[in-house]
Amino acid sequence: MDSHKKLIYLDNNSTTPTDPRVVETMLPYFFEIPGNAASRNHPFGWQAEEAVEYAREQISSLIDVDPKEIIFTSGATESDNLAIKGVFEMYASKGNHIITLTTEHKAVLDACKRVEKMGGEVTYLSVQHDGLVDLAELEKAITDKTIMISVMWANNETGVIQPMKEIGDICKKHGILFMSDATQAVGKIQVHPKEVGVHLMAFTSHKMYGPKGVGALFVNRKNPRVKVTAQMDGGGHERGMRSGTLNVPGIVGFGKAAEIAKAEMGKDAERLSKLRDKLEKAFQDNLEEVYINGNVHHRMPHVTNISFKHVEGEGLMMTFNQNIAVSSGSACTSASLEPSYVLVALGLGDDLAHSSIRFSLGRFTTEEDVDEAIRMVSEGVNHMRDLSPIWEMYKDGVDLSMVEWSEH
């Protein structure tokens, strides 16, 4: 491998680089302005508080809500936990049932599992082959004990965007709270929770070119006035919903990231969707047996999840991961390589799930990066297939569904 080669980062759904303009805005808040935003009795504290409130305005302006409706947290994992467990506890007298999807992020699924341990009931709805929720099924799952539906805005693995307005209407009709993990959508596409009837919404700075370790939970304040039980006991910061000294530099950076996103996400999305389409078309033109996973009409502009059939994704990645960073549809658990539960939920067989690669482009991705990825990944797929007895069998017309697979 040529070590001088530029590393190409196409894994922006895992985390985004911090925009240099964001870093610059944060710097004074480490040393020159070191105050604790909760220190009410001297200028250091006032300056920090002012900076935090300015960031709160920048962020609320991006998602078109009132600044008072933003609760700062350490990231989307914490926001998901606060929303789900916090609503479960706060609304215990109304019911104990939550509905979510099997394709949600682990932060939502595991918070729901915790709720089950605390005596709650959770329905994990499957999705259709294209990754979209079946609205009729969703409505059918509602009982008189249902207090909340939690559906992510856009999926992290496939980029599929759920019908938020339709789900919001169902929630409204039944008087149920609507929570959304919008981590992958905020700052990339227009996300206005109030417009679609979302009452609680989790998102994070480091997926939108801000620093890591800071996130937010939007909590609707009027019609209805939503409350969550704090999951952290302490000084009562953030209107009592999240105690702990605020990460002032992080919040300042998050605010700047939101301001930049509001100004630039339109043109970023337009440019990146063209590059994403170029990538997909090149693979489909250059290679056989290429499948795009998830609904291609309702998805994020910068993401594609592609299965290269009969090629093992982890192995494929190994052919280029010194130069190009992507994600595969398999996760290494302790004992074995598990196919992604999200792709399995879309009904992909183990083979297609294991052969999938997620490409997520970002603000700093160039056309040259994409061209290089097309070249190296195509080469890798051809190389793997040349060595593969399964590919040879497929080319010879063997019905591979009849082949007995051994345990991996």
Ligand X SMILES: *Cc1c(COP(=O)(O)O)cnc(C)c1O
Give the residue numbers annotated as catalytic, written as ranges: 332
Site string for ligand X, 59-78 (x = CB under 6 A): ----------------xxx-
Sequence-distant contacts of 397-404: CB under 8 A, at least 24 apart: 400/310
Find the shortest distance in angstroms from Cβ 213 to ligand X. 8
* Closer CB to ligand X, 193 or 215, in the complex: 215
Among 58, 103, 158, 184, interactor with ligand X by CB under 6 A: 184
The pair phi, psi for residue 96, each rounded to 5°, is -135, 15
Distances (CA, A) of 279 to 49, 181, 306, 331, 363: 45, 28, 10, 24, 16
Among 83, 112, 138, 152, interactor with ligand X by CB under 6 A: 152
Find the shortest distance in angstroms from Cβ 105 to ligand X. 4
* Closer CB to ligand X, 193 or 380, in the complex: 193
Kindly state whether residue 237 participates in binding ligand X, applying the rule CB under 6 A. Answer: no
- How many positions of this chain bind ligand X (CB under 6 A)? 14
Intra-chain end-to-end CA distance of the chain, in Å: 29
| Both structure tokens of 399 | 């019905």
Closest by CA position to 324, among listed 376, 274, 278, 401: 376
User: CA 27 to CA 151: how far, in whole Å?
Assistant: 36
Kindly state whether residue 183 participates in binding ligand X, applying the rule CB under 6 A. Answer: yes
* Closer CB to ligand X, 105 or 237, in the complex: 105
Find the shortest distance in angstroms from Cβ 162 to ligand X. 12
Among 85, 97, 207, 385, interactor with ligand X by CB under 6 A: 207
Site string for ligand X, 7-46 (x = CB under 6 A): ----------------------------------------
Q: Specify whether the CB–CB gap between 203 and 6 falls below 8 A.
A: no
User: CA 60 to CA 67: how far, in whole Å?
Assistant: 5
Cis peptide before 389 (omega within 30 of 0): no
Q: What are the residues binding ligand X (CB under 6 A)?
A: 75-77, 105, 107, 152, 156, 181, 183-184, 204, 206-207, 215
